[in-house]
Amino acid sequence: MYNLVISFGDIMNLIVKNEDFLLDYLYKNMDMPKKRIKQYLTHGSVFINNSKILKYDYKVYPGMNIFIDTNSNKNTFPFEILYEDKYIIVVNKPSNLLTIASSKEKEKTLYHILREYLNHKKEKVFIVHRLDKDTSGIIIFAKDEKTKNMLQDKWNSLVTLREYSAVVHGSLKEKKGRIEQNLLETKTNLVYVNKDGKKAITNYEVIKENKDYSLLSINIETGRKNQIRVAFSSIKHPIVGDNKYGIKDKETRLYLHANRLKLYYPYLKKEILFETTIPNEFKKIVREK
């Protein structure tokens, strides 16, 4: 027996009756296949109290108002597009979303969502670089293979700035610093400091702090896997929400965001700065104490 679901044209509405995770609650209380519910979530068609919700495991509580826009389709892209032309598209990836498919997840990826969006415009998409699943922020995709190869082959010379925002545990003694390490990766995809690894250089500056947390501006000179996460874990100030390299805390996302990227763009023959705002939750956690 399903809960009462009220329809208003292309909008479905239901009131939450019990605590649960969003995907599970919708599946249990709607006469709809789980795959279709996932599609609505992935494409930004689900709203709770007027806020767009994309996470399957978003916690819902009694009294919350869920709206589903069933008319939403793949002609709209659910995330912020920072720049787009005939050669590239630059987007702001949310946390908890893979850039590309893994052995466990094929469809709920940024690449998959973007491919469907561009397919309606008769355009293709190619991976240029990626962010960790848990890291949010700026990613560049190419629309043709020539552009993809050009950007990948000359990435280190074309990209002149890679800046991140992060919140770490504790108050850093040095408010501005440089972390130089050599990093290796295990067969289980865990990165660690080892003298035989590849050099990783991470620069940081404390922007704001309280007794528990520090908001940092981070600039990386190298692009090693999990570089920033390992760097701050190794100096005993792990990133908030980092269950892989840090400590278990109550946060549900990794507090790491790629917020500025400067690229010399050969097609325009000039540098372009792509920029996003620092996520509100980063500012809030430092302001709370």
**Does residue 1 sit within a domain?**
no
Q: In a 3-state reduction of DSSP, which class is residue 95?
A: coil
Q: Both 144 and 209 in a single domain?
A: no
Q: Both 259 and 163 in a single domain?
A: yes
Mean pLDDT calculated for residue range 229-246: 96
Per the residue annotation, which of 10, 57, 132, 134 is the catalytic one? 132
Quote the pLDDT of residue 103: 62
Quote the pLDDT of residue 1: 44
Q: Of 69, 93, 109, which residue sits at a domain end?
A: 69
Q: Both 203 and 245 in a single domain?
A: yes
Q: Both 64 and 162 in a single domain?
A: no
Quote the pLDDT of residue 9: 43
Q: Both 134 and 230 in a single domain?
A: no
Mean pLDDT calculated for residue range 41-69: 83
Q: Both 161 and 33 in a single domain?
A: no
**Does residue 14 sit within a domain?**
yes
Quote the pLDDT of residue 129: 95
Q: Both 94 and 144 in a single domain?
A: yes
106 φψ region: left (φ > 0), alpha (ψ -120 to 50), beta (else): alpha
Q: Both 179 and 266 in a single domain?
A: yes
Q: Both 149 and 161 in a single domain?
A: no
- Which is nearest to 159 in space by CA: 88, 101, 233, 226? 88
CATH number at residue 230: 3.30.2350.10
Q: Both 108 and 146 in a single domain?
A: yes
Q: Both 143 and 161 in a single domain?
A: no
Average model confidence (pLDDT) for the chain?
89
pLDDT in tens, 178-226: 999 999 999 888 999 999 999 999 999 999 999 999 999 999 999 999 9
Mean pLDDT calculated for residue range 241-259: 91
pLDDT in tens, 72-88: 555 677 788 999 999 99
Q: Both 289 and 161 in a single domain?
A: yes
* Domain total of the chain: 3
The residues with which 67 forms a beta bridge, in sequence order, are 13, 47
27 φψ region: left (φ > 0), alpha (ψ -120 to 50), beta (else): alpha
- DSSP letters of 8-76? ETTEEEEE--S-EEHHHHHHHHSSS-HHHHHHHHHTT-EEETTEE---TT-EE-TT-EEEEETT--TTS
- 132 in active site: yes
Full domain range(s) for residue 36: 6-69
Distance CA 100, CA 212 (A): 34
Count of H-run helices and E-run strands, the chain: 7, 18
Quote the pLDDT of residue 215: 98
Quote the pLDDT of residue 177: 96
pLDDT class of 71 with cuts at 50, 70, 90? low
Look at 153 and 64; give whichever has higher pLDDT.
Answer: 153
